[in-house]
Structures are given as structure tokens and as C-alpha cells.
Structure 1
């Protein structure tokens, strides 16, 4: 009897311990979720400070292989960093200055474009209304008519408010100061060479942790620098192709559209869609016939689709494989959190997260969700295009 009582008491104690352990795990998960929410809330509030720092890190990661290449030839890292950053800033400044005139002219013509677009939309609406009236008469003749009050007063309205244009211009105005701060930070990081990497390795206690940190650091630098360098070359080619094709089609400000295609293609999915819609709106005003007006946006869509389905998977897919759905969610989330710059940084953030997950055993399951799908033979399918909005499915 004593043994049975003792066994019963031990069983009750074990169940109590199991219950407490389960409760502690739930509390840990809850605290981890609250910590994540607090983290994103904090970086949202500190966007003006955190965003230039992150951009500077990305620029430093992109240019670090170039600095390392010149170091092998005896060029000091500080000199290479200064030359690269100054060259980057001067080229970007000259490009913006050369485009400021045509861009300003196009912005000044926005009211006229909006007015003419409204007129064409109203003409299109009148045709639709005639078809609706004819179908309504047919239903009345057959006894199935049902008059809807206020139906004839429906109109297609193009808002006179500046809306997204003003938001984009204000965002670009704030972007200039962020880029300047990021370039200065990138120059300091590049001039320091491998100092911060060595300090990180030295700070870790065990040899295993040191090796893992070194692998993660090298892999992050290699993946992000390859990705950004490849996407930049691809976007330059795409911008030149879009500008040339639209020029041959007679589209106004063709070189400005090429530059817009280059810049917008850094944003997956949303960038290409924005470019096609904007090109279609201006094309409807610039050309008299519907057929001629449809050619520029269709050409823009065709070029971005070719880039997204063929060129980018071929050049980037061998080194970077990300889940298209995860990339889309990341772009939407970071665009909501940080605006345009957040959308630009969404894919590098995912690359950073995937590299960390791949090297830490406890996070490898989560890292597998970030990867592109694998076929039965074990070959990963084409990755998401990092600009056109097309993805390998």
C-alpha cells in the first residue's frame, strides 16, 4: 500500500512539473512575440536614424569585395573607400541633376495629363453607359427591368489631389539626406576593413562560435554583395532597353522612363507594376489612338517579364533562392514600415535572415520556408526576380 501511495504521489508530482514546464514555455513564446513586436515598433519610430545606418551597411557590403581587390594590389583600404564612396556620390548626384530638368517638366505637366486622362476616361465611360442603357432597355422589353436609382449619375472620376505624387516627391526629398548619411557611414566601414569582423570573432567565447560567426559573416557579405551587384547590372540593362524601345515607339521622355525602370526594378513585384501603370497613364494622353497608346506599356511589361522570368533567374538563381510568396510579403511589410526605402531593402533583409537561419541548427526549419521550392530531383526552381515583379513558381 505504501509503494502504491508513493508511486501515485510521484505521478502527481511529475504531472505538476510537466504542467509548470508547459506554462513556462508558453510564457517564453509570449515574451518572444512581445519582444518581436516591440522591436518592429521601435525601428518604425526610429526610422530616420536606423534606415541610413542599414543603408550604409548594405553599401559597405556591396563595395567591400572591390576594396579587398584593391588591397591585394597594395592600395590602402582608406584610400579605396574614399575614392569609391566619392565616385558613387558624384555619379549619383550628376545623374539626379541631369534628370531633374525633364522630371520637373513632367511633374509640371501632371495637371494637364490628369485633365486629358479624365476626358478620355469620361468618353470611355459614355460608351459603357450607352451599352448599359441598351441592355437596360432590352431587360425592360422582356419584362425583367429593374431600375436602380442613381445609376445614370455614376461617373469615373480621376482625383485632382496630388496624392501619391506628392508623397513620392516628399519621400525622395528625405531620401537625399539618408543617402548622404549612409555614404559617410559606408566610407568609415570600408576604411576599417576587417576590423569589425575580427572584433566580433574575438568577442565570442568558444572556438565553435567563432567559426560559425566567421562563416555567417562571410556568407552574408558574399550573398548580399553578389545579389546587389548582379541586380544593379541587370537593372542598368533593363533601363537601357526600356528607354530605347520607348524612344522607338515615340514615347515622350523615353530616357526618363528608362531611368525609372532602372530604379523601380529594385522593388520586387510593386516596382514593375508601378512602372507599367504610370507608363500606360501617360501613353493614353500622349497618343491619339488606343492601339498606339497600348504599345509602350505592353513593351514595358514584356521587357520586365523577360527580365524576371529569364535574365534574373539565370544570373542570380545559382546563388540566391528565395520563396516568391515570402519576398512579396516582405516587400509589402517593409514598404508599410519604412516606405520606399523599406521596399528596396526587403530582399537584402531576407538574404541576411536566410543566411543566419542556414547556419544555426535551431533555425534551419525556418530557413527552409524562406527558400524557393525544390523539385523531386532536388533541384531548386527559379528564384524570385528582385525587380520586375515576376517570380519563378
Structure 2
């Protein structure tokens, strides 16, 4: 008796999901390295496209400059996190105590039963442990960066011979062109997304720092860095990037004015950059469904944690492009798109 195709598909998906979960320790650094390599390749290509005194930048010099830019960025991230982690850990209990005092003052004006329920709910949440755990996880993330850098170094070394390997794997020139075109589409789309997202994130983090530092908000450098990183997480990243420094401003100052300034100004920056600047830069190159992005964010966040959220959209882009090339799976690509068009197609007129 023939096994139904849908049953085989379900079994394969279940096995793949189990593998992704069990092999997290191996796959997560590798996926992070691929994302970082994509950013590095974009930086190198941008530098190689420049002209100095009418002469193009040599490819070898573009590689050195690109690596230097990425290393400087990683060094800055490590310096900020390691330099302020201890002070932030020490300040968290004080912030929690002040936040609880504000909460108690707020619920005092509510109905007795409602206030009691809110207080019981708050006591079940260990805010200090959660916050210090987040800081600790950020520090542990830095310890795994050596493996990621090692992966990226080998990927960079293999970049020049990839085309030759592809021709050897697929002697048929037409087949090699098809596979090469697919890989090129994936690399171009992911590289464009990562590059634009990085530029937008740097812009958002810099402008947020220009707001937080003059206000005197504690750990302005850390919040600016987190805003930069959170910007890679679709939809909820900008919300988190506004809420966290706003809470600190609320408990740090005796007046509510700094809190309102952070919420309004940083929130407005996040909204304008995320809804005006970024779409203009992206154009229609990545027409992804907002609902599919949320589902991808939740799924990969549940499977791989915070790093899964960062990787959710690039993974979704890869799935969308690959499925568009397989007739039996094109429906997946159509569902993932925002307007029902396949990658490379013009959107259908309504």
C-alpha cells in the first residue's frame, strides 16, 4: 500500500523539527555565523564598489577594511556590555525596589480586591532574577562569539572557490546555472535585508543615544546598544527598545518628564524609522507577510531563544525563495509573501 504524500511530509517535518531542537548547540552558532558572514560580504562588496581618486578599491583591501569594520563593531559591543554589566547588575535591585514602590503607590488608588490580585501576581514574578538573567545571558553570548568568528573566517576563505565547487558538483551547465541562480537569489536577498537592517539599526541606536544621554538616563550606552540589537527583531524589537529605557527613566528621576520624553521621542524615532525610512530603503525587494513574520518570530524564538528571533526573518527569506523554485511547494512561498506574488514577480493588480 502506497504511503500518502501528506503523511511523508508530516513525518519529514517532525524529524526536521526534532533535529533543529536537539542540534541547537551546533546549528545556532552556525546560523549566526552565516548571518554575520552575510553582513561581512555586504560590507566588503560596498567597499569594493567605491572609487578613490578615480581608481576602484582593490578586492584584497576591501576584504581587510570589511573585516576591520566588523571587528571594530564586535569590539565596541563587547566593551559596552562588559564595561557596564557589573554596574547594571548592581543597580537592578535598586530599580526593582523603586518600581515596586511606584506600583504600590499606583494600586493604592484601585479597588481593594483588584489591588490585592495585582500584588499577588507581582510577587510571583522575580523581576530581579529575570533582569540579572538577561544581563548574564548577554555576557554568555559573548563567550560563544569565538566559535562564530572561526566559522566566519573559514566561510570567507571558501568564498572564492564556491563557484568552482558548484561546477564540479553539477557538471551539467544548465543545472549548475539553475542552482547557482538560486543560491545567488538567496544570498542577494538575505544580504540586502541584513545590510539595510544594520544601517537602520545603527541610525536608530545613535539617535536614541542622542536623546538618552542629554537626559542623564543611566546606562545610556547600554540602552542604545540594546535598541540597535532589538531592531533586528521584527515588530516587538522596537517596542522593547522603547520600554526598557523608559522604565529606567521612570524609576530614576523624581519627575515624570524624562519618562514622557523617552516614550514620546524614542517611540517616535522607532515609528518613523521602522515605518517610513526602512520601507523606503527596502523597496519591494522583500514582500513578506506581517502575519508570517510574527509566526516565524514566535516559532524560532521558542526553538532557539532570543537568537532565534534575530534569525527568524533571514530564515523566512531563504524558505520563501527555495519554495518558489519547487512547484509542489510554491504555495508556501505565496503564503509567506505579502501580496501573493513569488520572489522576482511583479505584484498582482487588485
TM-score between the two structures when normalised by the length of structure 2: 0.85
- The superposition leaves residues 310-356 of structure 1 with CA deviations (integer Å, 9 ceiling, x where unpaired) of 01111013321111111111111111111111111111101111121
- The size of the alignment, in residue pairs, is 335
Are the aligned partners of 1:283 and 1:297 in contact in 2 as well (CA < 8 Å)?
A: no
C-alpha contact (below 8 Å) 1:286/1:293 kept by paired residues:
no
Q: What's the CA shift for 1:206?
A: 4.1
Q: Does 1:344 align with 2:310?
A: yes
Q: CA deviation at 1:279?
A: 2.3
Change (3 A) 1:374 1:246: farther
| Structure-2 change in CA distance of 1:115 and 1:152 (3 Å) | closer
- Aligned residue number for residue 275 of structure 1: 241
Give, in whole Å, the separation in 2 of the partners of 1:152 and 1:220: 53
Contact 1:264–1:271 under 8 Å retained in 2 = yes
Instruction: Tell me if 1:102 matches 2:68.
Output: no
- Residue 354 (1) aligns with residue 320 (2): yes
Query: Could you say which structure has the larger radius of gyration?
Result: 1
Q: Does the CA contact (< 8 Å) of 1:251 and 1:296 recur in 2?
A: no
Deviates further, 288-297 or 347-356: 288-297
Q: Distance in 1 between matches of 2:97 and 2:41?
A: 49
Name the residue aligned to 1:93.
75
Unaligned residue ranges in structure 1 (runs of 5+):
1-19, 133-149, 382-393
Picking from 216, 219, 224, the partner of 1:258 is: 224
Alignment of 1:120 with 2:102, yes or no, is yes
Give the 5 Å matches for 1:1-393.
24=2, 26=4, 28-67=5-44, 70=48, 74-76=58-60, 84-85=66-67, 87-129=69-111, 153-156=116-119, 157=122, 159-204=125-170, 206-373=172-339, 379=347
Q: TM-score, normalised by structure 1?
A: 0.76
User: Aligned pair in 2 of structure 1 residues 285, 75: CA closer, same or farther (>3 Å)?
Assistant: same
1:160: how far off?
A: 4.2
Partners of 1:374 and 1:33 in 2: how far apart?
24
Stretches of structure 2 that go unaligned for 5 or more consecutive residues are 50-55
- Shift of the 65–114 alpha-carbon distance from structure 1 to 2, 3 Å rule, reads closer
Over 3 Å counting, the alpha-carbon distance change for 1:278 and 1:330 in structure 2 is same
Within 1, Cα distance between the matches of 2:100 and 2:207? 30
Q: CA RMSD in A?
A: 2.8
User: Residues 310 and 45 of structure 1: is their aligned pair in 2 closer, same or farther, counting only changes over 3 Å?
Assistant: same
